[in-house]
Amino acid sequence: MKLFNLRHDSSKKLMIHAVLISYTLIALFPIWVVIINSFKSRKAIFNDPLALPTADTFTLIGFEEVLLRSEFGLFFSNSMIVTMISIFCVLLFGAMIAWALTEYKFPGNLAISVIVAMGIMIPIRLGTIGILELMSSLNLVNTLTSLVLVYIAQGLPLAVYILSEFIKQVPKELKEAARCDGVGEIKIFFTIIVPLIRPSIATVAVFTMIPIWNDLWFPLILAPSDGNQTITLGVQQFIGQYVTDWNSVLASLTLAIVPVLILYLVFSRQLIRGLTSGAVK
């Protein structure tokens, strides 16, 4: 009986790993195709898009066009500025709001929680016209500030929801002991709460960065001018009505993938801990 159970458990684990590996390969396949074709000539891309670059098909012309003959550096820096400021504000304000909602009872606590839940359920793009009118009245159209404000509003609801669940798991004894020692609420938050919820902060950072970095909708509407274009909007200059420079498009997409990979490598351990802890909760 024990042998049967062991075999059953082994086969079950094997099936789970097979499904996960298959899903991983499917998810990574488009990225792999983009990367290998960014190092190939235009003719080779269309002849065999799944083939690896060879001595005859290998070329860096796409990267040369992107880095030397376009404003890719400006697009990249705009995306980095918008993304980093948005992530910082979402994490800071999200953690503060989550701490206030879970730790203190005050009039309006329930109302704020409902608003946060509505922010998760209702896509922010439904309010595009209202957002555009608001930014226009504030003279923020064609500025990076407008993008930062929109992305903060977009990322806060999910951040508050995730961080609240983790803050609830912090033992009350730690907070009460700190209060008995005369530690202020702000210091408790930054020295006790924040270090204990680092896995969830890493999870929120990754989940916040990816939609911001890949977004084309709001940059196209709020900041389409040449000096404020983000990387996703800047790539569109290589796509013409009749002719598309696929070498440059694929090269720019390959370069755009790099920050996301770096973020994952930096926060991978914390991210995995946050995801597994969230699954248990």
Q: Which CATH superfamily is domain 71-280 in?
A: MetI-like (1.10.3720.10)
Dist CA 202 CA 280 (whole Å): 17
- pLDDT of 7 strictly over 70: no
* C-alpha distance across the termini of the chain, in Å: 33
Query: Within its chain, how far is the Cα of 7 from the centroid?
Result: 40
Phi, psi (rounded to 5 degrees) for 54: -115, 180
Structure tokens that stand for 123 in this block: 């896509």
- pLDDT of 279 strictly over 50: no
Domains in the chain: boundaries: 71-280
244: β partners: 239
Angle, CA 160 vertex, CA 158 and CA 162 arms, to 5°: 65
pLDDT value of residue 145: 93
Between residues 144 and 236, the one the model is more confident about: 144
- Give the chain's mean pLDDT: 83
Are 144 and 81 in contact by the 8 Å Cβ rule? The answer is yes
What pLDDT, in 10s, does the model give residues 87-145? 999 999 999 999 988 888 888 888 888 888 888 888 888 889 999 999 999 999 999 99
